Structure 1
């Protein structure tokens, strides 16, 4: 599933400055289930933001995803709580072990290259609209 690019960039405020990404938004069960499955590639400045109805334990997997990814788990307040790797075609569960309201998927290595770390603030208008100020769900990917 290829979703439209949101008109507003997503910004991650890092210790060395702001990093902007063009994002697709997966904000319902169908879009979240499809995610980036079957995608062979995407531009370096692109990502997918998963928006959940509330902060809760979330888990992902990469069974049908050929691209290696960075998965950034984001709390209700927009802070990154965990950055975990997603290995292509892996059925292993990826979960930070704590609640997240949002998950941002980027190409593998992007977080390290851009200086994105746990605790950094993620900003996007859709996050503010759903509760960020600055039950369990799974997604096949």
Structure 2
């Protein structure tokens, strides 16, 4: 399973184009196209501990249909906070098959922890309200390369 995840992440790096960036300690990350029903998402992929630690910190804006997909090596309870993050975000905690396990609205520059309700490998951060505006709730399915097995 670990080997499959490594190969998937390598594939993402090879097929992904350059990512949007802003000032600050942001990294140029690979991108992946995901879909939530008819809605397309362009997501940067944060797959290493360093990339996940920086995440969306210090960004002042993010395009409407873009986000960040945090990819972990194995499913686990994932908890996120918003220290040094300037944008209000919604985190979707996502199972290996693309099912949204739970959603959490997160306030900028907060140390409040928001966790998955069960072990997940993926967390997708989008602008706050993105999922709600599209009627996407826990149980909805995302599709795209990370969720293809």
TM-score w.r.t. length of structure 2: 0.78
Q: 1:3 touches 1:25 (CA, 8 Å); kept in 2?
A: no
Flag as ranges the 4+ runs of structure 1 deviating above 2 A.
Answer: 2-5
Q: Give the superposition deviation at 1:100.
A: 1.1
Q: CA deviation at 1:2?
A: 4.2
Say whether 1:3 aligns with 2:28: yes
Answer whether contact 1:71 1:85 (CA < 8 A) is retained: yes
For 1:102 and 1:77, how far apart are their aligned partners in 2?
10
Deviations 1:67-107 (A, max 9, x none): 00010000122100001011000001110231111000000
SS at match of 1:121: coil
Q: Which residue of 1 aligns with 2:70?
A: 50
The aligned counterpart of 2:15 is none
For the 8 Å contact 1:25–1:49, the answer to whether it is kept is yes
Find the aligned partners of 1:78 and 1:52 in 2 and give their Cα distance.
Answer: 14
Contact 1:80–1:122 at 8 Å: present in 2 too?
yes
- Residue 70 (structure 1) aligned to one of 84, 90, 99: 90
TM-score, normalized by length of structure 1? 0.82
- Aligned residue pairs total 124
Shift, 1:5, TM fit: 5.4
Distance (Å, rounded) in 2 between the aligned partners of 1:109 and 1:38 = 20
Distance apart, 1:63 and its partner CA: 1.1
Q: C-alpha distance in 1, partners of 2:30/2:59? A: 15
Gaps of 5+ in 1: 134-141
The aligned runs of 1:1-141 (5 Å cut-off) are 1-4=26-29, 6=31, 8-13=32-37, 18-128=38-148, 133=149
CA RMSD of aligned residues (A): 1.3
Greater C-alpha radius of gyration: 2
Q: Secondary structure at the match of 1:9?
A: strand
